[in-house]
Amino acid sequence: MATLFDTYDLSGLLLKNRVVMAPMTRARAPGYVPNAEMVRYYGQRASAGLIVTEGTPISREGNGFVDCPGIWSDEQIAGWAKVTDRVHDLGGSIFTQIWHVGRMSHVSLQEDGKAPVSATTQQAEHSAAFGYNANGQADFVTASKPHALSTTEAERVIDDFARAAANAAEAGFDGVEVHGANGYLVEQFINGAVNDRTDRFGGDSVENRARFALEVVDACIAELGAPRVGIRLSPFGRLHDLGDFDGEEETFLYLARELGKRNIAYVHIMDQASRGAPAMPEGFLAKFREAYNGTLILAGGLDKAKAGELIDAGLIDLAAFGAPFVSNPDLVERFRHDWPVAEPDKSLFYGGDARGYTDYKPYTAA
């Protein structure tokens, strides 16, 4: 019987347990460059079997969040290298989540105030980016109307993902996780309600909807090798103005089979029920597991007991935790010893200083 605390062979990378720190945007990198406080933050949490960093924009164009650390410049690579060195010195493993937000950006974040780019010209009118308001202050602002990428421009963005993967290797990461979830660019291609294109990346067929995601993965594989590439998906996701579409289950199961053929490091599924969105349909996780023959990670509303049950049942291999890692840098040990799990201060999730970031303490008995 497998447990959360067993080691796990992730395509040749030995993880010291099956607990994954999920990617979480924290907006603590002024100038988009990783800093000393980030080194401390990730080092504090290096007892996780695997850390997946916060979403890391692959380009200025791909950014949708003030003070979110990128991976497109030499200065950013050097900053991330200090993070990976710290985690590795403490015996941890770390992937970075490479990210393009697509239409979930704002003109205030784009070079020369340009429109964000997407698979579509449809605006996410009911969703917000974290940009600058009319007073020039960091704030949640309605996502701007996007420019639809041409076929050639979409191919250029795929190259940007590949370059980010190469930069991640230079920074010392053990691998990359392509952000294909939560309504960002890759999922804007996957989701047939948003993807209204008619080219080879168009939304009119399962194969075309999945093509952009698979070509991004293939480009990253070409840079790093399949064992160092993962992807995050959110099947039936509705965050950021995504909608229902015909063939939705078929699309994600097709992705599962195609990703399995590539022998990538893992697929990381996000169940958005924990974010207030509808849960994945009953039984879908088992269908995905049957279609995908590689390592499967699940995130979204897990606790120790539920994670253990899913691992024991063979439905998942690794369990990812987000918010609990914010306020419990020693989460693995708290789980191991059944110590209390502290609740985070949600008002300090985004931006600011060390408060609510690196000042949470390990558990000590009263």
So which residues are the catalytic ones? Answer: 184
Distance, in Å, from the CA atom of 259 to the CA atom of 178, rounded to the nearest integer, reads: 12
Cβ-based neighbours of 155, under 8 Å, separated by 6 or more: none
Query: Beta-carbon neighbour count of residue 201 at 10 Å?
Result: 21
Give 315's contacts (C-beta < 8 A, 6+ positions apart).
Answer: 285, 286, 289, 296, 298
Distance CA 23, CA 52 (A): 5
Tokens of 279: 């849960």
Measured between alpha carbons, how far is 86 from 182 in angstroms, rounded to an integer?
Answer: 29
Reading the block at residue 49, the tokens are 């079997």
First to last CA, the chain: 34
- What span, in angstroms and rounded, lies between the C-alpha atoms of 258 and 103? 26
Query: In which region does residue 95 sit, left (phi positive, over 0), alpha (psi from -120 to 50) or beta (all else)?
Result: beta
Task: Centre a 10 Å sphere on the Cβ of residue 164 and count the other Cβ atoms it contains.
Answer: 27
The separation between CA 219 and the C-alpha centre of its own chain, rounded to angstroms, equals: 18
Stated as kind and residue range, the H or E segment containing 79 is helix 74-89
Tokens of 148: 């639809």
| Residue 306 amino acid letter | K
Contact between 11 and 26 under an 8 Å Cβ cutoff? The reply is no
* Of 257, 254, 114, 259, nearest in space to 177 by CA: 259
The token duo for 247 is 């063939």
Give phi and psi for 51, each to the nearest 5: -100, 130
Q: What pairing do the DSSP bridges indicate for beta strands 94-99 and 50-57? A: parallel
